[in-house]
Amino acid sequence: MFLRLFLTYLIFVVLAVAAVGLLILQRSDGSDLFFELGRQVVLAVVVIALVAVIPAYVLARRFTRPLDELTQGARRVAAGEFDHKIHISGNRELSSVARMFNGMTDHLAETFRQIERDREQLRTILSGMVEGVVAIDNEQVVLFANDRAGELLEFVPTQAVNRKLWESTRQRAVRELVERALKQDGPHREELDWKGPTVKSLVVYVSRLPGPNSPGAVIVLQDTTDLRRLERLRQDFVANVSHELKTPLANIKSSVEVLMDGAVEDPNARGMFLEQIAEQADRQQTLIEDLLSLARIEAGEYRLEYDPVGVEDAVHACLDRHRTRAETKGLTLDGVALSGCPIDAAVWVDEEGLAQLLDNLVDNAIKYTPDNGRITVRWQAGPQNVLIEVEDTGIGIPERDLPRVFERFYRVDKARSREMGGTGLGLAIVKHLAQAMRGQVRVTSEVGVGTKFAVTLPRSTPDDQ
């Protein structure tokens, strides 16, 4: 634009001078004076044209400089420099345009900042969701994926963007599910069993984005693996409870029926059946008490009263309670403090909870230790915790069963456990009691050699007194 204005000013001056020269030439008489005058006119035109260059340049520059500044400012704003300001002085109209331009850029900058804040807030919300979220277009190209979606679909979200969904996750079931959902008008929900090294269950929700020509869809993934597992545990628990309650009730009912059929008149038979009824009733009562105790512990309703409890006293009291049963099988019960353990070592626990924990472990050891075996309870005090070990020379637990021994009603040998009167809840109660008293329990075992349960509980300090 500057060049056009410059040439316009220059041509205008030259034409004006040339017009004056032509008027002068027209009035000449054609003598030698004519040629001299013409030469002088041409010379004057050239001189005036040269002299007019500077004013033409100044005028053109003065007019175009504000426009150039506006143009340059527009480029910088378009490049993202929203803080750039244009300052034009002199020309009132152009100064007004510059002020309006600066106001527009301020408003535009604030709008973009608000959009960026909303975008970051949305990203933060989506990244913090426990559900996976994936946005795709109508060609199944990933537009967005949060971290949880990457975990569930096993891909890196930043690498999946701008790629086909099926390129990021090779699960054919996912692609087929999305294709079915995109063919429907409304939201689509479907359960998916993930195949691979990590087996999991997913619930997939697919909702198409609003707009013409099916612009894409939002995929929401929910991991229901734990819910499935808990549902199976609930079903197993109901089935086990029903079975455990049904067995003693069936024995009691059959014994009563036999007595009613005439065995009540036979003193020998009557005593045997009455003893069986009493035994099964005790078994049922023990099962119900264990169930209620476990339910209270899991619900946090088990009232714990923390006090310093001497480990040696608690262990020997437990062994005394079980010594008669152990002696009937020829078992040896020992309580041993490991070297370096103070005599007055104490734990900061609920006294009844510790007694129940030790009773269940020792009772379990007596049940599964053959005659003439040995059960040893050891303890060792550390700076912050006390380790209590219950070790037996029993039949042992296969390695494949070790992770499940603390589950409710789980038995390695179901027939033998029921024969010994176990409820299948003892070790589950031990685990939950240890956790409730801020401790933990673990187990190691070798088939045919024995089993060792190790319980770690917080040690009592002088501040606890």
The pLDDT tens digits of the residues spanning 312-321 come to 999 999 999 9
Q: Which of 29-43, 48-62, 200-214 holds the top average pLDDT? A: 200-214
The pLDDT score that the predictor gives to residue 317 is 93
Per-residue pLDDT, averaged over 206-216, amounts to 74
Instruction: Pick the closest to residue 309 from 381, 365, 366 (CA basis).
Output: 381
- Whose tokens are 């309870």? That residue is 377
Confidence of residue 161 (pLDDT cuts 50, 70, 90): confident
Judged by DSSP in three states, 272 sits in: helix
The pLDDT score that the predictor gives to residue 94 is 65
pLDDT tens digits, one per residue of 385-398 = 999 999 999 888 88
The pLDDT score that the predictor gives to residue 61 is 61
pLDDT tens digits, one per residue of 99-150 = 777 777 778 778 877 877 777 776 776 666 778 888 888 888 888 888 888 8
Q: Is the pLDDT of residue 1 over 50?
A: no
Start-to-end CA distance of the chain, whole Å, equals 92
DSSP string spanning 124-166?
HHHHT-SSEEEEEETT-BEEEE-HHHHHHHTS-HHHHTTSBHH
Cβ 140 vs Cβ 165: under 8 Å: yes
Does residue 366 or residue 283 have the better pLDDT? 366
The pair of three-digit structure tokens given for residue 99, joined into one six-digit string: 């002020």
Per-residue pLDDT, averaged over 297-316, amounts to 82
CATH number of this structure's domain 128-223: 3.30.450.20
Confidence of residue 175 (pLDDT cuts 50, 70, 90): confident
CA distance 450 to 448: 6
User: Measured on CA atoms in the order 70, 76, 78, 81, is the torsion positive or negative?
Assistant: negative
CA distance 396 to 410: 15
Alpha carbon of residue 270 to chain centroid: 63
Fold annotation for 306-464 = Heat Shock Protein 90 (3.30.565)
Q: Is the pLDDT of residue 3 over 50?
A: yes
Cβ 56 vs Cβ 14: under 8 Å: no
Does residue 271 or residue 70 have the better pLDDT? 271
The dihedrals phi and psi of 286, each to the nearest 5 degrees, come to -60, -40
By 3-state DSSP, what share of the chain in percent is helix, strand and coil, each rounded to 5? 55, 20, 25
The pLDDT score that the predictor gives to residue 387 is 93
The class level of CATH for 244-298 reads: mainly alpha
* Length of the chain, in residues: 465
Q: Is the pLDDT of residue 416 over 70?
A: no
CA distance 123 to 120: 5
The pLDDT score that the predictor gives to residue 92 is 66
Cβ 426 vs Cβ 348: under 8 Å: no
Q: For strands 332-337 and 374-381, give the pairing.
A: parallel
Instruction: Pick the closest to residue 237 from 282, 291, 281, 201 (CA basis).
Output: 291
| Average pLDDT score over the chain | 78
Per-residue pLDDT, averaged over 367-387, amounts to 90
The dihedrals phi and psi of 411, each to the nearest 5 degrees, come to -130, 135
Element (H, E) at 32: helix 32-78
Does residue 80 or residue 163 have the better pLDDT? 163
CA distance 308 to 70: 82
pLDDT tens digits, one per residue of 335-349 = 988 877 887 789 999
The pLDDT score that the predictor gives to residue 457 is 94
The lowest-confidence range among 71-80, 88-97, 196-205, 377-386 is 88-97
% of the chain beyond a pLDDT of 70: 75
Q: Which of 80-84, 98-102, 215-219 holds the top average pLDDT? A: 215-219
Q: Is the pLDDT of residue 54 over 70?
A: no
Does residue 49 or residue 369 have the better pLDDT? 369
The lowest-confidence range among 52-66, 208-222, 275-289 is 52-66
The pair of three-digit structure tokens given for residue 279, joined into one six-digit string: 């035994």
The pair of three-digit structure tokens given for residue 131, joined into one six-digit string: 């559900």
The pair of three-digit structure tokens given for residue 74, joined into one six-digit string: 């527009």
The pair of three-digit structure tokens given for residue 346, joined into one six-digit string: 């104490």
Domain ranges across the chain: 1-127, 128-223, 244-298, 306-464
Q: Is the pLDDT of residue 443 over 90?
A: yes
440 strand-pairing partners: 456
Q: Is the pLDDT of residue 371 over 60?
A: yes
The pLDDT score that the predictor gives to residue 444 is 93
Judged by DSSP in three states, 307 sits in: strand
